[in-house]
Amino acid sequence: MKTIQFREALREAMSEEMRKDENVFLLGEEVANYNGAYKVSQGMLDEFGEKRVIDTPIAELGFTGIAVGAAMNGLRPVVEFMTWNFAILAADQIINSAAKMLQMSGGQVGCPIVFRGGNGTAGQLAATHSQSFEAFYAHVPGLKVVTPSTPYDAKGLLKAAIRDNDPVLVLESEKMYGDKGEVPEGEYVVPIGVADIKREGTDVTIVSFGKIIKEAHKAADELAKEGISVEIIDLRSVRPIDYGTVVNSVKKTNRLVVVEESWPIASIASEIAYHVQHYAFDYLDAPVKRVMQSDTPFPFSPSLMAEALPNVERIIAAVKSVSYK
């Protein structure tokens, strides 16, 4: 094993797949000469050249359309968005072209493409630059959506995404690019649609994904001091969702808290809660609890930001609530 940053894990995934398959290429704003807005693609222009690492204009709809057309014709583009907030401008190509092409062509034309970039809150960037899009895109048939929380998962999931024959969205976090973690020296892939039990426990199950899962780990440490054993499941993929791992955990712990950095209405947490009540109702000793972002546009004020996001205190309170403590 070796210790690398999250951004390095993503870079290794892209570089390794580009060395194996000449049909894989990277395009996006500042990915080439500037080495990427967050230095994810650092050095890739030097290795692969300007035909495979392509700087685009600030025109998300345009370069996403180019990439979707390339995928329909047999190439495997990796599209980097500086932030998923900007990808709203490209949603037509993602939702109406990439996601639907295989079905609308009767299986004749696929769209093997990866869309990736920073997602969620990242400091005082205010309402239009602080949105989480997991549930937004997970709602769309034809797309796969993954959201890694560690360098290991980031590299393995991105490699799986590039090899996949369907459109895959990789939602990262600007605040995690510098995070360090262990990854294997050799080849590996993390399969899409398989959750990971990050921490085993017996009393309460916490389900989460993305960077907010860090708050769940902190809460679990504090709860352990009070004798409450928490099991933490990292979904890793939010379409498809590994419901089996979640249900089996709830059958063991009999309690569930879902932590999500997004708005509560039509959320991933709501979907998890539905499946658990449907498939594990008789095992539940308490109602399912959600710890969500506030149902408002994200604020600019630091004090309001702290109130808007899930935090350790709110998670602990939710766990104690389902534990009747």
Query: In one letter, which amino acid is 210?
Result: G
DSSP reduced 3-state for 135: helix
Q: 8, 12, 17, 60: which one is catalytic? A: 60
Cβ atoms of residues 160 and 191 within 8 Å: yes
CA 284, distance to chain mean position in Å, is 28
Q: Can you list the positions of beta strands (E) in the chain?
A: 2-5, 24-28, 53-55, 76-81, 114-118, 144-146, 168-172, 180-183, 196-199, 204-208, 230-234, 237-239, 256-259, 289-291
DSSP reduced 3-state for 159: helix
Which tokens sit at 297?
């546009």
Active site residue 129: yes
The full DSSP string for 183-249 is: E-SS---PPTT--EEEE--SSEEEEE-GGGHHHHHHHHHHHHHTT--EEEEE--EEES--HHHHHHH
Q: What is the DSSP letter of 97?
A: I
Query: In one letter, which amino acid is 98?
Result: A
Q: 16, 30, 129, 275: which one is catalytic? A: 129
Distance separating alpha carbons of residues 110 and 103, to the nearest angstrom: 9
Distance separating alpha carbons of residues 4 and 9, to the nearest angstrom: 7
Distance separating alpha carbons of residues 305 and 45, to the nearest angstrom: 38
β-strands 168-172, 256-259 pairing:
unpaired
Residues recognised as catalytic: 60, 129
